[in-house]
Each structure stands twice: as C-alpha cells, then as structure tokens.
Structure 1
Amino acid sequence: MAEGGSLQPDDETHEIKLQTDRLSYMQVENISGGFVFQVTDMTRLLRFLILGTEGGTYYSGEKELKRESVQCIDRLMIQDRGVEVVKKIVEVSQAGRACKQNCTVYALAVCARSNDQNTKKAAYDALSTVCQIPTDLFAFIKFCEEFSAGTGWGRAHRRAIADWYNNFNEDVTTLAYKVTKFRRRHNWEHKDVIRLAHIYPASESLRLIIRYLVRGLREAKRLQMPADVVELDKWQKVYIYLEAVEKALHCTEESDIVELIQKHGLVREHVPTPLLMSIPVWQALLKNMPMNATIRNLGKMGSLHMIEEGSEEEKIIVDRLQNKAALKKSKIHPFKILVAMKIYSKGMSEKGSLTWPRNDNVVKALEEAYYMCFDNVEPTNKKYCLAVDVSGSMDTPMMGIESMTARDGAAAMMMLTARTESDFEVYAFCHKLDKIQIQKTDTMKKVLNKMSSLSFGSTNCSLPIIQALSDKKKFDVFIVYTDSETHFTEIHPSQALQQYRTKTGIKDARMIVVGMASSGFTIADPTDPFMLDIVGFDSNAPEAMRSFVEGQF
C-alpha cells in the first residue's frame, strides 16, 4: 500500500530515471506508445477464471465461452505448467473468487482434454472439488463434449465422473438432495451420464440412488436391503427421502405437498410447477428458506399477494432481513441487497410479466439490510481516488440491471468505499474535477443529492490521474464511474497512469473505468495488468473490482 500524504517536490530527475530503469525490463510498449508492465500467461489465466476473459475487461451478463478465449492455458501447458494451471483453477474455485463459475469449469474441461497426461490426471482428480453441484458437473461434460466432438468418454473421463457420485459415499443424503434438486441442465440429465460413465456404486445406499435415477423408484425398491446395520440406516434414510421426492413430483393437492415440505425439507425445485401458484406451498417453503433464496423470491411471493401488511409472512421476511447475524453468515454483498430492493420496490420483474404490490415494511427492511451488509465486506486498505460522472446521462438504466440507473450504481459503489475503506477522495466530472465530501454515515439518498447538486462536463478518464499529479497526491487505485461516455484528450489514460507510476514510485498504481450503461467500450490496455474496464454492471462486478484491487489477477 502507498504511504498517505503529499509528494515531495519532483526535482530529482535522476532518481525518477533510476526507478524507470529498474522497472523497464518488466515492461512492453503499449497501444499509446507508452511502456507498461507485461501481462504474464498466469495473470491471463486468473483474469479468465475471475472475469471470464483474458483481457482487462469484465462484461456483465453471460458471454459465450470460446476455446480461443483461453489460449494462455495452451501456452502454459507447452511450458509444462499444466498441473500448476489446475491448482490455480482449484484455488480460485474453492475461494469463491470467480464471478461466474462457468469459467472455472470451462478451464478445467480444457485441462481434462489436454494431451499432457499429468495435466489431464490433475484435472480429473479436481473434478469433484470444482464441480460441487450437478449443474457444474453437467457443464463440465458439455464442454468436454464440445472439445472432443462427442467422442470423449474414455476410461479417465468415465472414472472421474463415476468418482463424482461415489465421493458422496459418506454423505449419501446430500447426494440425494443435490441430484433431485438439479435433475437436468445443459441438455444432460443424470440417467444419461450414469449410463455413459458405467458407474459401479461404492455402497448399497449409493446403488439405491443410482438405480432410482436410471430406472425410477419402483425398480430401486427391488434392490436387496443391506445387512450391515450402519449401511442399512443410511439406505433407509435415502429411500424415505427419495420416496418423498417422488410423491412430490406427482402431487396435485396443496395439503399433501405442504406436508412433504415440512416433514422432509423439500425445496422449490421439488414442487410441481402448477403448485407453485399456491400460497400455502410458498408459506411452507418460506419457513426454512435461506437468505439468498428469500431475497430472490420476494417478487414471486408478492405476486401471490401473500406478503400483506401485518401477515405472518411479512414478519418472517422482515425479521430475517433484520437479523444481522444471519446476514453476516450468508456473506451476501450489499450491492445484491440494493438490486433486490430496487426491483422489489418497482413492483415488476425486469424480465417477464410478473407484477406485485410492494410492501413498504419489506422495502424498509431491505434498506436496513443493505446498510448492515456493509459489515460483510472486508476493507482492502488501499488509498482510492474516485471520480464520478454527474451528467444527466447518468439517469440511463444500467446495462444488466434495468431497475437501477447508472447514477444509483455509482452512488452505491462510492458508499461501499466510504463505509469499508479509511482512505479515499471523491471527485465529480464538471468543467474540472470538483471534490465531493462523502461521509461514512451518508445514506444513499444523501449521496445522490450531493451528486445531483453539481454541474457537469465531459468525462476525461485521464483527468483524475493528471489532477493527482498536479496536486502531488498519492493513490493506489483510480476508479472512474460513468454511463458510457468515456474519452481522453491529449493523453491516453494508460499513458497518464504510467507517468503517475514513474513520478510517484507507486509501480502498481491501478485504474478501473466503469461504463455502467456501456455495451462495448475499452480503455484498459490489455498488456497492462493494472488496468480494468467494467462494461455494463451486475451484482458480480463489485467482487471483480475487489479482486483486481487486491492484486488477485
């Protein structure tokens, strides 16, 4: 981290030259004629795993994954670093650092299809660690099929997939839950996978699950019950659960499905679609619903008019959202709460035709949860310079979150910095950069009012860096928040950032440009590991920015 305070007078040209010389061996010429740090293939791999792209750009929404997107893996394998690649995939996956899990699964599939036997073995050994739910397993199979044109069910592939099921031998009830909750994804389902993998179950309780998935409960019931007492207990618990799931699948009566939910802990995915229009069913589901699922299903429950003022459901939801310990345990990011609040307050879904009457007490509870969830975010302990576009165009809906404007998103992200970091300054783009005083205790409304009170001008992304040099201030991170209008005048941001690094000695000074309503701009130099573009904005973007600031990729 850079030391705080002002720069010393910059009259020691010789010292600056020495600093530049010491760093030049690590640098290459960039698109603007300046020299920047070279991005290594391992950094490119981390960018792909965390951002979904090798370049310095995070795209909101889903983008099609293509084989050419991970050429860095091929180059690393040529250097005999394939096993190291797999270790990095596992590390990112286990730490929950990937914005989109599909990217880690895709990279693992690339390694599994490698011609290098050590890399292939490491990838298949890591399958159960990276793919912890059937959705990810099915995605892995899909990607492997794409790479092998449908001819990829060799011995190693079959054994790894069989091991995925058999690894649940000590926790068969969890397997029963997962395979019945996620029955099919990516045009694959368990019975097809099991047949192709030639699975030999490691225990009789696992055999029961496998037989059920392939042939149904009636055939599974014909299996001989195990003689071992411990195994018999596991077998009976699995059978009772599968029987409940099967009853739920064919249920037509509200009272029957409610009883099954209450007795066996069934979840929404176990409920037949017609019964998801039932208030009693959702009332039963709500009682033990996790925090994230509660927030995700507010609109659906509201559309059934079950969250009425003074109702038991209102009390459950409000109490849950105001439970600080539960919010902390859920590790939910405050930005996700804010997005949920904006969508719920609007009374209609962003996609589809679902509508609902808003409950003001729920809205208030969401707002309180938003502020409480700032405690879920660990500080990076960096010194920030935040520059925000305050023009009228910031009222444009954010790309990826239509219920929020670019102004809302910028305000929320500045609040995040103010409430979690101790060292930051905020500026607005006007005819020059004007400082905004954002306090730790400011509410969302107060921050928006401060932004709205300023005049505006162009968004020159180099200006915050130029201004910092002029004012002789040291920052570790520059972040520009705008809608989609980004430009530079006589100096490109990458050049300005390089000058700043040279003159301040902060060799890893970073810059993030966030185009919240943009669909295709790029300012970051792809050869500079310390520049990042955010194109559009979604609830995963704040975590991508944090990972970047902390130097994780």
Structure 2
Amino acid sequence: MAEGGSLQPDDEIHDLRCQTERLSYCQVLNTSGGYVFTVTDMTRFLRFLILGTENGVYNHDEKELTRENVLSIDRLIINDRGVEVVQRIVEVSEAGRACKQNCTVYALAICARSNDPDTKRAAYDALSTVCKIPTDLFAFIEYCEQFSAGTGWGRAHRRAIAKWYNNFKDNVTTLAYKVTKFRRRHKWEHKDVVRLAHIHPTSEPLRLLIRYLVRGLGEAKKLQMPAAAKEMETWQKVYIYLEAVEKALHCKEESDIVELIQKHGLVREHVPTPLLMSVPVWKTLLKNMPMNATIRNLGKMGSLHMIEEGSEEEKIILDRLKSHTALKKSKIHPFKILVALKIYSKGKGEKGKLTWPRNKNIVEALEKAFYLCFDNVEPTNKKYCLAVDVSGSMDTAMMGIESMTARDGAAAMMMVTARTEPDYEVYAFCHKLDKLHIQKTDTLKNVCDRMSSLNFGATDCSLPILHALSDKKRFDVFIVYTDSETYFQGLHPSQLMQKYRIKTGIKDARMIVVGLTSTGFTIAEPEDKYMLDVVGFDTNAPQAMKSFIEGDF
C-alpha cells in the first residue's frame, strides 16, 4: 500500500482478486451467460408487485417467472414476514406504485390463502383498502378460487367479502355507482358473490342495493322504505339512481341517454353499445369523465373527430392532463400515461381496426403529464453518468403492451433524471458504448428514436465504468437502465466501481441499477452501501434515488 492510502499495481491486482473470490460465493449465472447477484426475496416481491410478470423477459418463460415470484412470497411468509408482506402490498396499492393493480391483488390473495393465521388475518383486514372497486374484488375472489381449487368460501373469506360491501353503509350511493359500473369481471358478478358471502346488510339503503343486485329492481322496490329520515333520504337517492341505470340499459335515443347522463352522472359503462357511436353522448360523458377513463378513451373520442384542435373537448382534455392536482388525485401510474402516449401517437389501436387523427397538442400534454406524475424531485447537483441499455433484449414488451418496450421505459426514466439534474452525460451501451447527446427539452419520441437507431448486441453493463476510467471522467453517480439481462467481460461492475473509487478518489461514488422488467437478478452488490437496486417503473423511484445519492440510506 502506498502513502496516502492509494494502491500500488500489485496491491490493486491482489485486492481485486480477493474481491473476485469473495463475490463468487454470492453470484449466480443468469440466462444471458453473465454472473449476477441474486436479489432478496423482499426485492423480488416488490418487483412482482410493481412490475408484474405478464410477458416474461428475454430468455425467460412467463410461467417460470410467476412461479418464482410466488415462491418468494411463500418464503417470506415461512420466515414470519407475512404481515410485513401485507403491509408492503397496502403501501404499494395506496401510493399507486404498481403498474397494474392485479399484481397487488394476486399477492394479497396468496397471503389470504396462506397457512399462517397472522398473515391470513392481515390480508383479509386489508381487502377493502387494496380492492377499492369491484373489479379488484372479483379478481381477488378468482385468485383465491384458483389457490383453493374452488373450496375457499370459509368463514374468514365470507366475513371479509361481506365487510367489503358493508363498509359502504354510510355511502351507499357510491357503492351503487361502483356495482352498476363494474357489474361482472373475471367470470364473477355481484349476485353470485352476495349469495356465497351470505351478506347481511347493515343499513336499509344497502339492503335495497343488495336486493337489486340479487333479484333486480322490481323486487327491490317491494322493500319497505325506512322510517328514519336520514336513511329514507339515502334510500330514495339510491332507488332513483338504480332506476336511471335501468332506463339507460334500454335506451335507444341519444337524447334520452344524454339527459340521463347529465341528470344522474352515468358513465360509459351505463351506455348501451349502439349509442357509443354518438358524438353528443361522448361529449356529455367527457365533461365529468375520470382521469383514467379520459386517457383510456382518447383513441375512441379521436376516431369520432370530436377532439380537433381548438375544440371545447380538446380544452377539457388539455386542462385535465396539465393539472398536477388532478393527476395526483387520480393516482394514475405514469406507465399508463406512457402507454396512452405511445398508442395515441400511432393513430391506431393495439387491436381491432380503430384509427384516429392525432392531435399534436394532446401528444405534448400526455408527455408533460408523465413528468407531472413524479412529485417535486429536487436536483442533487451531482455529476451523473446515465447509461441506457440498447441491447436486443430491450425490445421486450413491458407489462404485455406491444407498443411499450423496456427501451421506452428506460428512456422515460432516464429523462426524469435528465430533466432534473443540471450536470449529466448520457451513454447508450450494449456490446459497445456510444454517447447520446440528450437535451432536457428532447421529447421521449426523439430519445427513443435515437436509441432504436443504434446497433444492438449483448448487454455489457461494465462499459460505462470502463469508459469513465479510461477517459478519467469524474462522476458522482452512475445510473444504469436495463432490463436486467446482462453480462460483462472481465471484472464485475461492482469490482469496477471499487476500482473507480480508488482511481478517482471519489470514495462514495455510487451506482444505481434500474431494472425495467421483473426478474430475480441484479448486478448491484448487496454488501456495497454505495450500490442500489431500484424497482423499475415506480413513481417513488426518483425520490428514492435522490435520497440514496444524498446519503440518506
């Protein structure tokens, strides 16, 4: 060892060899032929919740991935961490961090069907918190049926589902809206669930609604109106609303359905299919349409030529997309906005023959809405090396959406940092490294086009660090955006980071690996406090990365 703590060449080689021997005990060979660190069961579980496994990553089978993630949940429960698992499910669901809610519901069902009493109790207690709409409730029931081979309607199961309905006893009008909007999903409908759960309504307005679900409006109105003034008022509101829903189901004239929408706040699901080709109907629906529905139906409304530039409808949509308050309140995941941006920009749907003229103002607003979903990320004022994987495996579809690839997700996440930090350099890497001249004002489309134009190859995630070493570049932070299917030549990235710190004297130089697909591997060393894994497309990721870079954990 030389004076001042710097390593001489022989000492350095010996030190790195020792690291290699130590690291070999905690690494495994991945499907791309590279050695990586296995992530903890809790990290695997969080990746499952937030990213899902619907399409499988490059060189992986979807069923195998799902089975692996389920086993990680089982191991956590076996190790007495089941209640913690449920708490994480609630946190992810409440914060809107999951790309798709079905993964959180799936995980909750696993906990509800576990053999650990505490885990089971916690899962059923969390049912109403995680499953806020009937779609999620039906999914939970269906998953539980799969896990128990159709024999799962025990006392705890019935009680939790009955509680889901009875929790609306003081807000029955809201429940009426939800159950008529989402009548059936996942092969289940309310009348079957109500019968199997043996629900005993805890208020008279709720009794009216339950009777309607099971026997129809004709039988429901035979119930005696409650005598108490407050319950009578609610009872009447619920009945009038249900009557409007039934009228809507049989409407044939657009003027009639428009009046019902205006008067009773009916939504698209209440409108008969033939009338969904009516422009006046859609214009009326749009006025009070929720954020998620607005984004989901952009293509349909565009196909009817009702959101032309300068139109009132365009203004409504633009105001909605530009509202940080509205976006936050809707808890819409940024991934959904990116999917909408990708599909709407194409001018045609993923399936079917629906086409529409693209409104450039809507396209711009969708991209801005994406960035608005990330709350108040302040710059760290560090020097960043942003390295984006452009290998062939990055063409893998994210979350089963053909139009959205891991490359799109990597570009989007990278641009969040690029728009926040003042000092950064961007590189594209696969088997070689290329500098990308990315500006804060670049659109996602431009960034993705540049990445797509590069030659693809295998993924050598050590290249950004090797380049920084050879060119004597001083970075405080390396962020690698990848689909997690990696290999490297020579030294492992974690070893190179050790070498980089020694060579540059930046003792706390950090590396963050952002994985855009759900796998069981990471290139970050668990024992290195300056290396971090981030569960990819997560609204909290930028803030978590900032806290890590500033040394908060």
Note closer, same or farther for the CA distance 1:50–1:122 as it changes in structure 2 (3 Å cut). Answer: same
- Secondary structure at 1:170's aligned position in 2? coil
Alpha-carbon contact 1:109-1:143 (below 8 Å) kept? yes
CA contact (8 A) 2:184 2:190 kept: yes
Map 1:111-150 → 2, pairs under 5 A:
111-150=111-150
The 3-state SS of whatever aligns with 2:468 is helix
Distance 1:369 1:277 in 2: 25
| Residues 410, 481 of structure 2: 8 Å contact kept | no
Over 3 Å counting, the alpha-carbon distance change for 1:527 and 1:193 in structure 2 is farther
User: Is the 1:465–1:497 Cα contact (8 Å) retained in structure 2?
Assistant: no
Q: CA deviation at 1:294?
A: 1.9
Q: Which residue of structure 1 aligns with residue 278 of structure 2?
A: 278
8 Å Cα contact 1:37/1:527 also seen in 2 = yes
Q: 1:135 to 1:27 in 2, by over 3 A?
A: farther
The question of 1:28 aligning with 2:30 is answered no
**Which of 360, 374, 378 matches 2:371?**
374
Cα deviation for residue 272 of structure 1 reads 1.2
Aligned with 2:29: secondary structure?
A: coil
Change in CA separation of 1:472 and 1:145 when aligned onto 2, cut-off 3 Å: same
Rounded Cα–Cα distance in structure 1 between residues aligned with 2:156 and 2:411: 51
Matches within 5 A, 1:489-508: 490-491=489-490, 495-501=492-498, 504=501
**Alignment check: 8 A CA contact 1:249 1:271 kept:** yes
Aligned partners of 2:310, 2:332: CA distance in 1, in Å? 27
For each residue in 1:210-246, what CA deviation from the matched residue of structure 2 results, as whole angstroms up to 9, or x when unmatched?
A: 1000000111101111111111111111111111111
Q: Residue in 2 aligned with 1:350?
A: 350
Shift of 1:446: 6.6
Is 1:363 paired with 2:365? no
User: Closer, same or farther in 2 for the Cα pair 1:403/1:39, shift >3 Å?
Assistant: closer
Shift in CA distance, 321/235, structure 1 to aligned 2, threshold 3 Å: same
What is the one-letter code of the residue matched to 1:51?
A: L
Deviation at 1:99, TM superposition (A): 2.4
Tell me how far apart the structure 1 counterparts of residues 164 and 519 of structure 2 sit (CA, whole Å).
Answer: 41
Deviation at 1:181, TM superposition (A): 0.8
8 Å CA contact 1:337, 1:369 repeated in 2: yes
- Aligned-pair distance for 1:395? 12
CA RMSD between the two structures: 4.5
- 5 Å matches for 1:433-448? 433-443=433-443
The Cα shift of 1:185 comes to 0.7
Conserved? CA contact 2:335–2:537, under 8 Å: no
Match of 2:479 in 1: 478
The match for 2:427 is 427
Give the letter aligned to residue 43 of structure 1.
Answer: T
Give runs of aligned pairs for residues 131-530 of structure 1, distance below 5 A. 131-323=131-323, 326-327=326-327, 330=330, 336-337=336-337, 339-358=339-358, 362-371=359-368, 373-378=370-375, 379=377, 384-388=384-388, 411-429=411-429, 433-443=433-443, 460-470=460-470, 471=472, 473-480=474-481, 488=487, 490-491=489-490, 495-501=492-498, 504=501, 509-512=511-514, 524=522
Letter in 2 for 1:479: V
The residue identity in structure 2 corresponding to 1:511 is V
On the 8 A contact 1:26/1:37 being kept in 2, the answer is no
1:522 CA drift (Å): 9.1
Provide the C-alpha distance between the structure 2 equivalents of 1:63 and 1:327, rounded to a whole number of angstroms. Answer: 34
Determine the C-alpha separation between the residues in 1 that align with 2:317 and 2:257. 22
Deviation of 1:195 (Å): 0.4
The runs of 5 or more residues in structure 2 that have no matched partner are 502-506
Aligned position for 2:85: 85
Give the counterpart letter for 1:496 in structure 2: P
Are residues 414 and 297 of structure 1, via their aligned partners in 2, closer, same or farther at CA, if it must alter by over 3 Å?
A: same
Aligned partner of residue 114 in structure 1, secondary structure = coil
Cα pair distance change 1:308/1:272, threshold 3 Å: same
In the other structure, the counterpart of 1:4 is: none
Aligned to 1:3: none
Q: Compare 435-444 and 113-122 and name the one that shifted more.
A: 435-444
1:511 Cα offset (Å) = 2.1
The 3-state SS of whatever aligns with 1:201 is: coil
Per-residue deviation at 1:52? 3.0
Q: Give the TM-score taking structure 2 as reference length.
A: 0.79
Secondary structure of residue in 2 paired with 1:415: helix
Q: Are 2:158 and 2:198, in contact at CA under 8 Å, matched by a contact in 1? A: yes
Residue 130 (structure 1) shift: 1.3
Deviations 1:295-326 (A, max 9, x none): 22121112223334554434433444455654
Q: Deviations over 1:15-65 (max 9, x none)?
A: x969x99xx7997244389997664333333233223369x9799999798
Q: Is the 8 A contact 2:462 2:489 kept in 1?
A: no
Residues 513 and 524, structure 2, Cα contact 8 Å, conserved in 1: no
Of 59-68 and 245-254, more deviation after overlay is shown by 59-68
The one-letter code of the counterpart of 2:461 is: C
Contact kept? 2:44, 2:519, Cα under 8 Å = no
- Equivalent residue runs for 1:33-52 within 5 Å: 39-52=39-52
The change in CA–CA distance for 1:224 and 1:26 in structure 2 (over 3 A counts) is: farther
The answer to whether the 8 A contact 1:248-1:260 is kept is yes
Instruction: Describe the superposition over 1:410-465 as per-residue Cα deviations: whole angstroms up to 9, x where unpaired.
Output: 65444322113345321244996444443334455775787699899875332012
For residues 80 and 457 of structure 2, what CA distance do their matches in structure 1 show?
52
Secondary structure in structure 2 of the residue aligned to 1:509: strand
- AA aligned to 2:489 is E
Alignment check: 8 A CA contact 2:58 2:393 kept: no
Structure 2 distance, partners of 1:17, 1:220, is 79
Q: What is the CA–CA distance in structure 1 between the aligned matches of 2:431 and 2:307, rounded to whole Å?
A: 48
1:11–1:439 distance in 2 versus 1, CA, 3 Å: farther
TM-score by length of 1: 0.79
Contact preservation (8 Å) 1:30, 1:36:
yes
Contact 1:36 1:528 in 2 (8 A): no
Post-superposition offset of 1:533: 10
How far the C-alpha of 1:372 sits from its partner, in A, is 5.8
Q: 1:91 to 1:335 in 2, by over 3 A?
A: closer
What letter matches 2:493 in structure 1?
Answer: A
Instruction: Give the secondary structure class of the aligned counterpart of 2:385.
Output: strand
In 2, Cα distance between the equivalents of 1:317 and 1:192? 38
Report the CA distance between 1:376 and its aligned residue: 3.3
Are the aligned partners of 2:50 and 2:537 in contact in 1 as well (CA < 8 Å)? no
> Could you report, residue by residue, the CA deviation over 1:142-195 in whole angstroms, capped at 9, with x for unpaired residues?
111111111111111111110010011121111111111111111011000000
* Amino acid paired to 2:209: I
8 Å CA contact 1:51–1:544 kept in 2: the answer is: no
2 CA distance for matches of 1:396 and 1:68?
23
